């Protein structure tokens, strides 16, 4: 007889704190630990339900009075770069992609610090030291890669993406780049290149993290065609971002117990006996 049992992780909720994306809003997250024994299964299943990974934790927004933050992904087969994005690819032809294991280096950390000091000096990661940076890169129980973008002529590091390889796509966990190269649009270039990598691997999606309409920091993701967002328990095509209305009403968010009850967990199959 074969028994199929669900993996049953414990879910928790963070205490409310000021939202980093929308002024006057409070942020709260639903999260669970990524257990090494079933990490791949759990990460794949929950990523398809709007969760994101941070080291050994999977989380998604669960704000009590707002549901504006939406997990976003690009449908690789349907994606076509616009004129500006094609120009970005040409501008970065001097960069070479290099794929490595998730192992932190001093060069990466120095670039990361310059990026934070220039772009996110007041953000939640602003005080991250070299040991915390190494933990962010290296503490992963799943299939993760560092995708580095190197100058052809000098071998200097220009940009880095910490990327998970899922069953159905690539998930860009965290990216950073040389702040002195703003005209190169390196953030856009990395996303475009991940679409190409996914296409080469036969993977249908590139997961971009959260799209937050109304947020300058997170609104750029709507510039990419063939975008889907996870809302009301399913992935939906985002046809015209300007037509999307963020859910800011207190009743737009289900109670935590209902959210957890509706999470689809992977099955763990026991050996036949």
pLDDT in tens, 30-60: 999 987 678 999 999 999 999 999 999 999 9
Q: What is the largest CA-CA distance in the chain?
A: 62
Task: Name the least confident of 91-100, 120-129, 149-158, 259-268.
Answer: 120-129
- pLDDT number for residue 258: 87
Q: Which two tokens stand for residue 112?
A: 């990361």
| 259 pLDDT tier (thresholds 50, 70, 90) | confident
Q: What is the mean pLDDT of the chain?
A: 87
- Quote the pLDDT of residue 5: 45
With 50 as the cut, is the pLDDT of residue 82 above it? yes
Reference 159, options 123, 122, 185, 139; nearest CA is 185
CATH no. of 72-243: 3.40.630.30
Q: Confidence class of residue 4 from pLDDT cuts 50, 70 and 90?
A: very low
d(CA 42, CA 149): 30
Task: Specify the pLDDT at position 2.
Answer: 45
Supply 222's token pair: 């709507």
Q: Which two tokens stand for residue 44?
A: 């794949």
Q: How far is CA 113 from CA 116, 146, 198, in A?
A: 5, 17, 29
> How far is Cα 36 from Cα 56, in angstroms, rounded to an integer?
9
Q: pLDDT tens for residues 133-189? A: 999 999 999 999 999 999 988 989 999 999 999 999 999 999 999 999 989 999 999
Nearest to 256 by CA among 14, 30, 57, 15: 30
Tell me the domain boundaries of the chain.
4-69+247-269, 72-243
DSSP β-ladder status, 17-18 and 267-269: unpaired
pLDDT score at 222: 87
In this predicted structure, the answer to whether residue 3 has a pLDDT above a threshold of 60 is no
Mean pLDDT of 5-34: 85
| Mean pLDDT of the 106-127 span | 82
Q: Which residues of 18-35 are buried (b: 16+ CB within 10 A; e: fewer)?
A: ebbbbeebebbbbbbbbe
151 vs 34: CA distance, rounded Å: 35
More confident residue, 211 or 202: 202
Q: Is the pLDDT of residue 1 over 70?
A: no
Dist CA 170 CA 172 (whole Å): 6
Question: How far is CA 156 from each of CA 124, 191, 222, rounded to the nearest angstrom?
Answer: 27, 20, 30
Helix or strand holding residue 107 (H, E) = helix 106-119
Write down the pLDDT at residue 249.
57
């Amino acid at each position: 007889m074969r028994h199929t049992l669900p993996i049953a992780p414990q879910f928790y909720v963070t205490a409310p704190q000021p939202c980093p994306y929308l002024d006057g809003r409070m942020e709260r997250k639903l999260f669970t630990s990524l257990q090494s024994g079933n990490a791949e299964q759990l990460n794949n299943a929950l990523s398809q339900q709007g969760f994101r990974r941070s080291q050994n934790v999977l989380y998604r927004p669960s704000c009590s009075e707002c549901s504006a933050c939406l997990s976003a992904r690009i449908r690789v087969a349907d994606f076509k770069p616009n004129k500006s994005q094609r120009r970005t690819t040409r501008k970065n032809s001097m960069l070479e992609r290099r794929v490595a294991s998730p192992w932190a280096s001093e060069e990466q950390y120095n670039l990361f610090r310059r990026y934070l000091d220039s772009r996110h000096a007041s953000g939640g990661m602003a005080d991250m030291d070299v040991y915390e940076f190494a933990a962010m890169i290296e503490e992963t129980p799943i299939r993760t890669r560092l995708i580095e973008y190197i100058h052809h002529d000098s071998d200097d590091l220009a940009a880095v993406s910490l990327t998970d390889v899922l069953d159905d796509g690539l998930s860009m966990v965290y990216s950073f780049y040389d702040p002195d190269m703003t005209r190169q649009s390196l953030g856009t270039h990395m996303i475009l290149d991940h679409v190409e990598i996914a296409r080469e691997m036969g993977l249908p999606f590139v997961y971009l993290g959260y799209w937050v309409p109304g947020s300058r920091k997170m609104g750029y993701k709507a510039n990419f065609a063939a975008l889907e967002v996870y809302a009301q328990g399913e992935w939906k095509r985002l046809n015209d971002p300007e037509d999307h209305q963020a859910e800011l009403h207190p009743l737009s968010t289900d109670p935590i117990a209902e959210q957890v009850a509706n999470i689809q967990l992977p099955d763990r199959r026991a050996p036949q006996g």
